[in-house]
Every structure is written in structure tokens, then in C-alpha cells.
Structure 1
Amino acid sequence: MATSAPPAPPRIFSSERRRAARRRLYALQRRPDAARYLIEDMHEDVLERLAFLRFEAARVLIVGDYTGELGRTMRAAGRDVTEIDPAEGFDEEQPYPFEGFDLIVSLGTLDTVNDLPGALIHIRRALAEGGMMIASFVASGSLPVLRDVMLAADGERPAPRLHPMVDVRAGGQLLQRTFFADPVIDQRSVKVGFRSLTRLIGDLRAQGLSNVLADPGPRFDKAAFQRASAAFAHMGEDGRTVETFEILTLSGWKK
């Protein structure tokens, strides 16, 4: 008796919009004042974890580091580093075209894949025995102010504008489902003050966090954006509104 194929994951995100957002990120990062505080926070966290574990990985794969800084640091330490990005057409939901890495670091990309368990399985398969994965991305609880002002601007008919996000509990379940050994799941907050909604949106675009939903909803018209901007300013103090980014990090081993 033939067995049916497992159902395809729901299409929440558009792969075309995702690639376009990553390409726009690279263009915006050419500006000298481009925001990169989230990736810098992730860099620091990765290096602290590796130093604590005293884990010396010979072959390293880095996914999504648009600054290249983490790769430069690891090469300076004598490691063989490969770097890839969805902007170049790399598809994390397909089997990796290479394997045998001692360490795979994924930064800021797994939050917008439709099949996150599948993506984690592909990472595990690309690791050598005894290899480690560290994956960080923006998670549940992020952008609470933006969510509120978007709802205020949309009124009685809110549109889908912000992404669904993974929380700590779901992250732990994902590592168990994908057979990572000794899993560690943690979350930390990054708080940033903004003088305007326009600046927040600019920072989101520059860091690859713009809307890549398959159904992105209708565009904001001028009146809706003015309502959102006014609500954003009202939620601040002394000319600044503080927004929160939650960074979820998943790590585990292939044993």
C-alpha cells in the first residue's frame, strides 16, 4: 500500500519577497550610518558562547552575516570559513550542497522560513559528527510598540503586517523534534530608542526585518501612516520611543 507524502508546510512567507528584502538589506548596508546593532549583538553572543565552551571548530559555515565580521574574526583565528546568504539564492529549506562542518552559525534568517523544522534538519545533516549549531533570530515578543501603532492605524480592520514569531518553548520543541543533542534555548532583549516611526522602519529595512509575508496586506496610505506616526510618538517620552527586539538563540550538537 502506497504511503502519502507528508503535507507541505503552510506558505506564510514569500521566498521572492524574502530574497528581495535581503538584497535591499545589502544595498542599504552600504550607507555609513546603516543600522546593524542586532547582528552585532548576535556576533558578540556567538563569540562568548564559543569562548565559554572552548570549542575550536576547524570548518565553519556562517549563514546570514551580511557584515562579514564574524567570518573575518574566525579566519583570523585560523578557521576555514564558508559564508552564504539567502540574498544569493541560498535556500535553507533545501538540503545543503555541502556538509562536514564542525560549526554552523545562522544569524537572523530562520525566522522567515516556512519549514523551520526542515531547515533545522538540513543544518544538522550538514554538520560533522560532534558538530555544533548556533542559530539566532528575532523572536516572539519583538516590536510590541510597532504592533500597537499598526493596529491603531488600521482601526477596525487590521491587516497582516508583522510576522508570526517563535517563542522559547517552541524553540525547545523544535530542537527536540530535529534530534539535536544537549539543546540550549535562551532569549534576550535588545531595547532601542527612536525619534520617529520613519527611523524605526528604516532600521528594520536595513537589517532585513521588513514584511516578507506571502499575504502582506494592503499598503499604508498617507493618512494611516500619519495615524501610526502620531501613535508612535505618543507612546514615547522626551522625544524618544523605545522599541524592543527579542533575540532567540538555539544551539545543539550532532552526536
Structure 2
Amino acid sequence: MDMIFDQARIAANRHRALRHHDPNATFLLDIAAKELGERLAVVERTFEHAVELHGATGAAARAAIATGKIQHLTRVESEQAYAEADEHFVEAALEEVPLEPRSTNLLLAPLSLHLTNDTPGVFIQIRRALKPDGLFLAALPGAGTLQELREVLLTTEIEMTGGASPRVIPFADVRDVGGLMQRAGFALPVIDAETYTVRYDSIFPLMKDLRAMGMSNPLVARSRKPLTRAFFLRAAEIYAERYADPDGRIKATFSIIYVSGWAPHESQQKPLRPGSAKVRLADALKVEEHKLKQ
């Protein structure tokens, strides 16, 4: 398996973000947590045991508990420092799901699964950890996220050095995530995406927020050569030329893919077998049927 992400670098980025916590940079996690909580709230069921996977701030866990639909919740994180008082907490690496098979009714994964090298394997681990008819809810940054920054850094590097290295991580699109859900064996999957536009005074507070999110470049293929101040000054110019609003502020796009799926159970609705329909489509639509000429 090809390694895309440097897991040691990711752990270091997350640790630094935890140590230098900036509440102004948690807006994406807060958005995802609110959305996941709202989606859980409309599920007509109570979940005996839930797990939040690598939620960093714990916002998704708190939003889920606030629905009143969870009896017990465990948080899984990469280091003990994330734990808060009186929480049921388990320490595990980002790519591990440290749960026994069929051990939980609900699993929440807010904005962490995009950093795994074996994402299909992690999805399979999640499905196996769910009890039959257990629910999986997740949020992942999707295609289009930071598209402006990606283009600006690429343009700047080509202009100043004649070459380029990857500066922004790749993000999956909705179809990719749907394929992962099917491959992992989830039933009744639902996948959709929301796009959010955030405005900044310049590229510099945007980069500051990304560091505070633990999202500094973790790609294995990244260049190890430090970027100069001149590079970022030129990048700021290009960003402002291409993506500034009339008031001079720049735009940054964040797309979040929301996912839900169930561990299979015999009580779930099944698709009809081909040829089992009892009513012709033409009759249901009240239209005349015409056969194609051979």
C-alpha cells in the first residue's frame, strides 16, 4: 500500500494544535458537530453505547449527547491529553478503531478519516465494530476544499522555482466516499456535501488557522525545503489578485461530505428483486408505452 500521509507528522501537527489551542480555529469542527448532531436528532432510536473517533475538541460528542439519544459515550483519541474530566476515554492511533466486533451502537467520525492511508480498511474496521443495525455518522473534508490555496501555492512555486511539490492534501469526492461505504458493507448509505466559504484578510490568517487545526502539510511526498518569506508574500499577492472580494478580503472554500450508513440487519428495508414489480411504470405514470424499433 502506498503511503500518502506521514502519520508521525500528523500526530505532531495534532499535538501542536492541542497544546496551542485556538478556539477561533475550531469553526469547521463546530460546523460538523452541529450537523452530525442534527442528523442524529431525527433518528427515531436511542443508542446504548456510542463512540466518537478522533474528534479533537469533543464537539461532536457533546452535540450527540445533547440529543438525549445516547446512554453512554466513549471518546477515542491519539493521546490522553485530549481527555476531559469524567470522560470514558480510549487512546489509539488515527488509523486504528480499538473496538471489539459488534461492540457499539453508534460511531461518530468528525473530520479525521481523510488523513488515513488505508481509508477503506478503516471504514471496514468501523463497520465491524458496530452491532447489527448500528449507525455510522461521519464528516470528511471533500473535493474543492482549499482549492484556491492549492492553485495559488502551485502557481507561486512554479513562478519562483520552475517546479512544484504537493502543498495541499488530496480530498475525496462524494462518489469516492460512496464507493468506500459500499466496499465496507454498509447498508442504506446516504452521502451528501455542503460547501462553506470563509473570508480572511489575507493568506496569512488562513495559514495560521490551518496550523491551529493541525493541518500543516502531512504528505509523505512534501518538499522538506523551508519556504521563504518572499514566497508567501508573492502567494499573498496572487491570492488577492485571483480570489479577493471587492472589499479586499480573500475567500477560502471548505467542502464537507456528510456520511451515514448502517451495519446490516435483517430488519432493514431491502431493495426489490429485478422483475418483481407488480405495476408497469407506464401505467403508474399514465403514459402510453412505445416499443423501440429493432
User: By the TM > 0.5 criterion, same fold?
Assistant: yes
Q: Which residue of 2 aligns with 1:142?
A: 145
Q: Which moved more, 1:240-249 or 1:212-221?
A: 212-221
CA distance in 1, matches of 2:73, 2:97: 19
Name structure 2 gaps, 5 residues minimum. 81-90, 265-294
What TM-score does the superposition give when structure 2 sets the normalisation length?
0.78
Is the 2:138–2:260 contact (alpha carbons within 8 Å) kept by the matching residues of 1?
Answer: yes
| Secondary structure, aligned partner of 2:254 | strand
CA distance in 1, matches of 2:15, 2:214: 9
Structure with greater contact order relative to length (CA < 8 Å, sep ≥ 6): 1
Is the 1:138–1:247 contact (alpha carbons within 8 Å) kept by the matching residues of 2?
Answer: yes
Aligned length: 245
| Secondary structure, aligned partner of 1:34 | helix
CA RMSD, 1 decimal: 1.7
For 1:96, which of 71, 95, 98 is the aligned residue? 98
For 1:239, which of 244, 248, 251 is the aligned residue? 248
Q: Which moved more, 1:198-207 or 1:80-89?
A: 80-89
CA distance in 1, matches of 2:10, 2:217: 8
| Secondary structure, aligned partner of 1:220 | coil
Q: Which residue of 2 aligns with 1:166?
A: 172
CA distance in 1, matches of 2:65, 2:96: 27
Instruction: Give the greater-gyration-radius structure (CA).
Output: 2
CA shift digits 1:150-184 (9 cap, x unpaired): 01210131111111111111111111111000011
The alpha carbon displacement at 1:59 in A equals 0.6
Q: Which residue of 1 aligns with 2:187?
A: 181
For 2:129, which of 126, 131, 137 is the aligned residue? 126
CA distance in 2, matches of 1:55, 1:198: 45
Name structure 1 gaps, 5 residues minimum. 1-8
CA distance in 2, matches of 1:139, 1:17: 21
CA distance in 2, matches of 1:55, 1:43: 19
CA shift digits 1:215-236 (9 cap, x unpaired): 2213212221111111122221
Q: Which residue of 2 aligns with 1:227?
A: 234
For 1:11, which of 3, 22, 27 is the aligned residue? 3
Is the 1:92–1:122 contact (alpha carbons within 8 Å) kept by the matching residues of 2?
Answer: no
Distance 1:204 1:87, change over 3 A: farther
| Overall identity of the aligned pairs, in % | 32
What TM-score does the superposition give when structure 1 sets the normalisation length?
0.90
For 2:43, which of 27, 47, 53 is the aligned residue? 53
Is the 1:152–1:227 contact (alpha carbons within 8 Å) kept by the matching residues of 2?
Answer: no
Is the 2:197–2:251 contact (alpha carbons within 8 Å) kept by the matching residues of 1?
Answer: yes
- After superposition, residues 211-222 of structure 1 pair within 5 angstroms as 211-217=217-223, 218-222=225-229
